[in-house]
């Protein structure tokens, strides 16, 4: 038996949203870059696959809610993907980067979170 991990990756999804706990972060949309990786030990068979478009739809719909914290958004994306896919998943990772955030007058390339949940 092969010991392989099968993955689907939706990377560098660009989202613009008002995200953050500080008042100034709620005034202006931030550029966010989202990457989602879904892993399974079950090989894909012809005609059976994890659908990229479903992952993109999930990311888009989660950002449609009024969220303030990147961690909450990442967890909601992971939980929604886990609930939607029937394949036996081993893990889901979600990385969200806030590009060039306004932070106390400092220049910062990006700030972000990465959450991985194993099943």
Domains of the chain: 6-118 (3.30.1130.10)
d(CA 119, CA 89): 7
Beta bridge partners of 40: 6, 89
Residue 43's pLDDT is 66
Of 98, 85, 89, 111, the residue nearest 34 (C-alpha): 98
Task: Tell me the per-residue pLDDT of 20-32, one tens digit each, with 9 for 90 and over.
Answer: 877 777 778 889 9
CA distance 110 to 80: 26
Segments in the chain below pLDDT 50: none
pLDDT reported for residue 114: 98
Q: Is the pTM of this model over 0.85?
A: yes
Closest CA to 96 of 32, 52, 53: 32
pLDDT attached to residue 106: 82
């Amino acid at each position: 038996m092969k010991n392989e991990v099968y993955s689907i990756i939706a990377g560098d999804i660009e989202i613009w949203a008002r995200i953050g706990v500080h008042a100034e972060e709620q005034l202006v949309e931030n550029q966010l870059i989202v990457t989602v990786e879904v892993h399974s030990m079950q090989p894909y068979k012809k005609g059976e696959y994890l659908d990229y478009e479903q992952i993109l739809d999930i990311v888009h719909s989660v950002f449609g809610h009024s969220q303030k914290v990147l961690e909450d958004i990442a967890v909601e994306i992971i939980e929604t993907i886990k609930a939607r896919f029937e394949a036996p998943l081993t893990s889901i990772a979600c990385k969200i980067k806030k590009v060039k955030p306004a932070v106390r007058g400092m220049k910062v390339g990006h700030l972000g979170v990465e959450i991985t949940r194993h099943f």
